Copies of this chain bind each other. A is one copy, B any other.
């Protein structure tokens, strides 16, 4: 069983803070009647929908997308149930979960049940990011278009990036129960950029 946990990309999809210039534009540039085939182009922000951030997104002179080995994106992961959190995920919300060194953690929150952009989306607060860094995790995913909001200087992003933790944003985890899965999180292979939209799927973990 394959679970597709990617957001659908369309012109009217949710985008960060509902900014018009972050909405993807899709144009049919060749049309069957005239050109004998249909062919479209897309103009989109690289942080559209389900996507992977590269450190360069938040750290000047940081590493770009190709610094993330594909083997680190094709691996087991753990989905945590944080749907009880109202506002932000802190250290105390995470304590008590089974989190180990080198884990790739996906945070399932109420965000997965919301189709429109919510300015008050649940995010990973600085203390949560510090806790996960101390645990030595390898990657983190969240079901919001950002892993943080309302924190000066993007502290959560920076703590994670400085600890070589991969960040996936914009997941859709509504139908996924907490537990262990095998994940394929595949961004486009774009040279020298700050991130890329990705298709992310989970498989039941073979025990």
Binding site for B on A (CB under 8 A): 2, 4, 6-10, 21, 26, 28-29, 32-33, 36-47, 49-50, 56-58, 60, 70-71, 74, 153-154, 184, 186-195, 197-199, 201, 203
9 residue pairs of the A-B complex, CB under 8 angstroms, read A2-B71, A8-B189, A10-B190, A29-B45, A41-B43, A42-B43, A42-B193, A74-B201, A186-B186
**Contact (Cβ within 8 A) A70 B4:** yes
**Contact (Cβ within 8 A) B46 A193:** no
Chain B residues, Cβ within 8 Å of A56: 38
Known: A4-B189, A9-B188, A60-B32. A38 touches B71 (CB 8 A): no
A42 and B6 CA atoms in complex are apart in Å by 19
A90 and B206 CA atoms in complex are apart in Å by 41
Chain B residues, Cβ within 8 Å of A198: 188, 199
A70 and B8 CA atoms in complex are apart in Å by 13
Known: A201-B70, A201-B74. A7 touches B40 (CB 8 A): no
Chain B residues, Cβ within 8 Å of A36: 153-154
**Contact (Cβ within 8 A) B189 A188:** no
**Contact (Cβ within 8 A) B2 A70:** yes
For the complex formed, measure the closest distance between the CB of A23 and the CB atoms of chain B, giving whole angstroms: 11
Chain B residues, Cβ within 8 Å of A50: 189
Closest B residue by C-beta to A6: B189
Question: Which one of B8, B10, B41, B74 contacts A45 once the chains associate, using CB atoms below 8 Å?
Answer: B41
**Contact (Cβ within 8 A) B10 A192:** yes
Chain B residues, Cβ within 8 Å of A8: 189-191
Counting chain B CB atoms within 10 Å of each CB, the highest count among A41, A49, A71, A187 belongs to A41
A94 and B4 CA atoms in complex are apart in Å by 34
Chain B residues, Cβ within 8 Å of A32: 60
Chain B residues, Cβ within 8 Å of A203: 74
